[in-house]
Structure 1
Amino acid sequence: MDSMNLTCNPELDIIFVPFSPISETDKFEVRVQIMNSGDESEIDIEIYLDEASESNLSWRGKAFAQKGRYAFAQCFPNIIGKSGQHKIMVRFSKDGKNRQTVSKEFEVRTHAQNLIEGSFIMFGPPAGRKPCSPFYNVRELTDEQWKEQIDSFNELGFKMIVPMATVQLETVLNFNDSDGDKLMKAHYPSKIYPKSGIKAHDPVKAIFETAEKNGQKILLPFGCNYRICKHRLEIMRELWGRYGHYKSFYGWYQPYEVPFHLSGELFATFLKLLEEDKKLINEISPAKPLMVSVLCGQDAINDAVSMMLSNGMCKADIITPMDMVGMTGRPEQLKINSRTFSVLRDALKTTAIHLWGNCESFDLTPTPIIPRYKNGGFDGKSGFIQQIETLRPYSEKLVTFMATGMFAKPGLEPVIGGEKAAEQYRRYKDYMQKPRPVYKNIARGHPYTKSQIPDFPDNTLRLLIDPNRYGYIPDENNSSTDGYIAGGRYGGRYVDASKIYGYILNESKKSIDIEVLFDFEAPQPIDMIRVSESPLSPHAGLGTNDPDASPDYVSVETGNTLNGMTEHGRLDAFVNGWAKILFPSTAKKRFVKLIFHKEIKANYPDGSLLLINEIEICKKYQ
């Protein structure tokens, strides 16, 4: 067998998810495709980190490839504690002897900053789409002007570009048309759909060429975001034929948007759609990942959907939920996002799926969408910067919806989105010079002691939560430091069961103080301590009717000896789901004590609950 019939171009055929630079805590995935131009055969493949030695072997195996098709391999090298420059080496052959070796470099960083690393763009909204009216002039951009736009987004550090759609409804009147597919238009020269009314001849080519120059990457959609495109698989083949040779072609984007609060039955329909998409991707470009961006705007994720994700039923490689701040306008949305992204991270942790975040950079006025102005706008109580800070702990990469009309480089004509978009561009460019600090939770998974065993679950409540765990001891697995925030799931019998423990207040016990003590065994740097707000009372059957199970306040003490503890005040104001104390300078302490206090409320004489949710003790990344 002739191994020379095998080719692997590292720039095109080795894909890192997430893309470089990669943080130590990311689920680092290497995806490799090898073209077989000879007879069908099994391909021997080895993947190494840095050097071809047994100690650096990440994966070894065989992958089958038909003639004219790709063999595919993937692995997840361990990069914890390996910040710096590295390379992946791939060795492959048909006969196990005449091996070829290729390599690709990447960077590992200790952490990701509180910055956006990619953005959605829009080639042109449907005619008459009123919410897009402030930036409707994007339809008038030429191919050269699209190159200028991509350059301007590169200056903001947007290294990933995701067009909303390559095929779009020509007019808003077609949204509910029973045969709207016939009325779709393509934003590029297509043989499947007629050309849309935008001025640019081939903006897709323009953004690929510019991304190539800038080191940016493109996730290319193969349909329409407003409805399922009937010919989406034909579109995918056509797009691959036209643009698959660009090294900036990172992967695919399924643009149809579904919510996470769908019933399990409806969500399964969407998963079936992704199976069809993935089948074709595996045929034409298996290393290119598939991304979806789902709606995450309800108070919680359907438990059935969470189970489907954790069981590996979703064939998307990257899930990038919208944080829905712009769409909902709700000041409590960031609290919801902490809970739902925590649930998603938990659901995906044993799967191959990557979790990214999509921070919406717009707000809805009564009709059009414009750059953030509600609830703090760019930087305030629930502003754009706070969106970034909320999703950062759970997301490998952060993108924004969207650059078009929300970030306009001053002086670049035409001004897409007007002066408000130019102002948001300026503010973000200034923010990039000194982004908000990022924190590492040193308490995650760490044991602690409580001054009192939780009152429940008792034997009766155990049966309500999980009859298979009758002998379960409340909080036996350090639930307060497991990285999971209760309140992000609904609709299942065992929802948030790991967090349903706590204390009952009634006529016989009208107030309570629970001490939670951490011993780190040696002084540790501490810059912030925060406590998550508790979800609503989960069981009315306990004889309580107070819907708020959070503490009234939490007192914080630190020290290097138990007899020399220093008080730091109280956590008594929950903002965006958290109450926190920021230390003016780093404290190096061995012990941390939190005292959770709650009193029964006069307007809830039947009783209350105190639920302790998540505790974080954090040091600042330098």
Structure 2
Amino acid sequence: MKQKILPISGTWFDFHHCNPYEGDYWNHATNQFTAQDWDSKMEEMVEAGMDTFMLLSVALHGKTFYPSEIIKYRWNLICEDPLEAVLKAGDRLNVNIYIGLGFFTTPAFHDFIDENNAERYRLDIISELVERYGHYRSFAGWYLPVEAGIRGYYPEDYTRYVNKMSDQCRKIGPQTVIIAPYGTRTIHFDGRFVDEVKALEVDFIAYQDQVGVNASQPEELHHIYSQLREAHDKAGKPLWADLEIFKFQGKVLVPAPFQRVRQQIEVLSNYVDKIVCYQYLGLMNKPGTLAFAGHEDSTKLYQDYADFIKEANL
């Protein structure tokens, strides 16, 4: 019997990576992207099979990537409004884009804990985004980029944050909400965890496989995701995998060898409804692309993956 294979059909992307080191191979390039470059890169990713895009953030360290009347500081980018550029491309290409709501303040990763710091921006920014960009069909929903560090179970603070954010988003704009927790290998797969999944008022949960960060090995994913599948079936919620296609070169993200990525795909395909990756931008580039961003090995990862997809008849 031929093994079931799911393609990578979604990806995260960013205008400037939130970590000061990890995006070193592509931050300079994306800072220089024009609106046409963003359109070209979106088309390239769709050609590679992507139909679902999670934008990591619309702001970072108190500066926005789009013209905002709420936060007065902006990143110095060549493209006047990269958010509009990708949404326009999304409409043309008929894909879904989920806009990241986080990293408004510093420290960025504590938006859900530091309520006094984050709350003053949250509702106003959601409203501003819907007012400015709500007419784009590709604006399909929201991604909450503050990641849950699961330690056996979901942190209670995180569940409260997610449910509050989801309620606020759905009152103002698109209804769909996505999260991407880490710490999957620590999960206690029992009734309490199932109840926690049920209690999360989100539509899709894309669990990080944590292979890229060296917290899990590809062969361990069978155990983790088979139990996630059972738990999500009990909770009545779809199950996505966030496949890490990177490895580390010091503190910097570089493309992983495809032999490892292939193992991840082959295992995850047995258990999940959809595979999305972190992340195409910077780690994969079509040979000859007009909008190159990333490590020189990114073209090899792209070609190896494209050959695999063709071989699998997907």
- 2:225: which partner in 1? 341
Q: Residues of 2 paired with 1:316 and 1:142: CA distance?
A: 34
- 1:136: which partner in 2? 27
**Alignment of structure 1 residues 132-531 onto 2, 5 Å:** 132-137=23-28, 138-169=30-61, 184-193=62-71, 194-224=73-103, 226-228=109-111, 229-230=118-119, 231-261=121-151, 267-285=155-173, 288-301=175-188, 306-310=193-197, 312-328=198-214, 333-372=217-256, 377-379=257-259, 383-435=260-312
- 1:104: which partner in 2? none
Letter in 2 for 1:291: I
Letter in 1 for 2:64: A
Check the 8 A contact 1:163/1:219 in 2, yes or no. Answer: yes
Q: Residues of 1 paired with 2:156 and 2:181: CA distance?
A: 14
Letter in 2 for 1:327: V
- 1:123: which partner in 2? 15
Where 2:297 maps in the other structure, the secondary structure is: helix
Residue 394 of structure 1: CA displacement? 1.9
Q: Residues of 1 paired with 2:181 and 2:279: CA distance?
A: 15
Q: Residues of 2 paired with 1:263 and 1:367: CA distance?
A: 28
Rate the CA distance shift 1:283–1:367 in 2: closer, same or farther, 3 A: closer
Runs ≥4 in structure 1, deviation > 3 angstroms? 296-305
Where 2:277 maps in the other structure, the secondary structure is: strand
- 1:533: which partner in 2? none
Check the 8 A contact 2:286/2:303 in 1, yes or no. Answer: yes
1:139-169: CA deviations, max 9, x gaps? 2212221111101101101111111111112
Rate the CA distance shift 1:123–1:154 in 2: closer, same or farther, 3 A: same
**Alignment of structure 1 residues 27-106 onto 2, 5 Å:** none
Larger Rg: 1
Rate the CA distance shift 1:303–1:432 in 2: closer, same or farther, 3 A: same
Rate the CA distance shift 1:273–1:318 in 2: closer, same or farther, 3 A: same
Where 1:326 maps in the other structure, the secondary structure is: coil
Which runs of 5 or more residues in structure 2 are unaligned? 112-117
**Alignment of structure 1 residues 591-610 onto 2, 5 Å:** none
Residue 120 of structure 1: CA displacement? 0.6
- 2:115: which partner in 1? none
Letter in 2 for 1:276: K
1:239-261: CA deviations, max 9, x gaps? 11111111112221111111222
Where 2:264 maps in the other structure, the secondary structure is: helix
Rate the CA distance shift 1:342–1:232 in 2: closer, same or farther, 3 A: farther
Rate the CA distance shift 1:195–1:395 in 2: closer, same or farther, 3 A: same
1:185-216: CA deviations, max 9, x gaps? 11111112221233321111111111111121
Check the 8 A contact 1:316/1:353 in 2, yes or no. Answer: no
Residue 414 of structure 1: CA displacement? 4.8
Q: Residues of 1 paired with 2:306 and 2:40: CA distance?
A: 17
Check the 8 A contact 2:5/2:265 in 1, yes or no. Answer: no
Where 1:132 maps in the other structure, the secondary structure is: coil
Where 2:258 maps in the other structure, the secondary structure is: coil
Q: Residues of 1 paired with 2:237 and 2:69: CA distance?
A: 34
Residue 353 of structure 1: CA displacement? 2.6
Check the 8 A contact 1:405/1:421 in 2, yes or no. Answer: yes
Letter in 1 for 2:98: L
Q: Residues of 1 paired with 2:125 and 2:212: CA distance?
A: 30
Where 1:394 maps in the other structure, the secondary structure is: coil
Which one has the bigger strand percentage? 1
Which runs of 5 or more residues in structure 1 are unaligned? 1-110, 170-183, 438-622
Percent identity between the two aligned chains: 23
Where 1:294 maps in the other structure, the secondary structure is: coil
Check the 8 A contact 1:260/1:305 in 2, yes or no. Answer: no
Check the 8 A contact 2:178/2:203 in 1, yes or no. Answer: yes
Check the 8 A contact 1:124/1:198 in 2, yes or no. Answer: no
Q: Residues of 1 paired with 2:291 and 2:42: CA distance?
A: 14
Q: Residues of 2 paired with 1:399 and 1:139: CA distance?
A: 24
Residue 304 of structure 1: CA displacement? 7.7
Q: Residues of 2 paired with 1:275 and 1:261: CA distance?
A: 19
Rate the CA distance shift 1:341–1:134 in 2: closer, same or farther, 3 A: same
Which one has the bigger helix percentage? 2
Rate the CA distance shift 1:187–1:303 in 2: closer, same or farther, 3 A: farther
Residue 339 of structure 1: CA displacement? 2.1
1:66-104: CA deviations, max 9, x gaps? xxxxxxxxxxxxxxxxxxxxxxxxxxxxxxxxxxxxxxx
Letter in 1 for 2:310: Q
Residue 324 of structure 1: CA displacement? 0.8
Residue 297 of structure 1: CA displacement? 4.9
Root mean square deviation, CA, Å: 2.3
Letter in 1 for 2:283: M
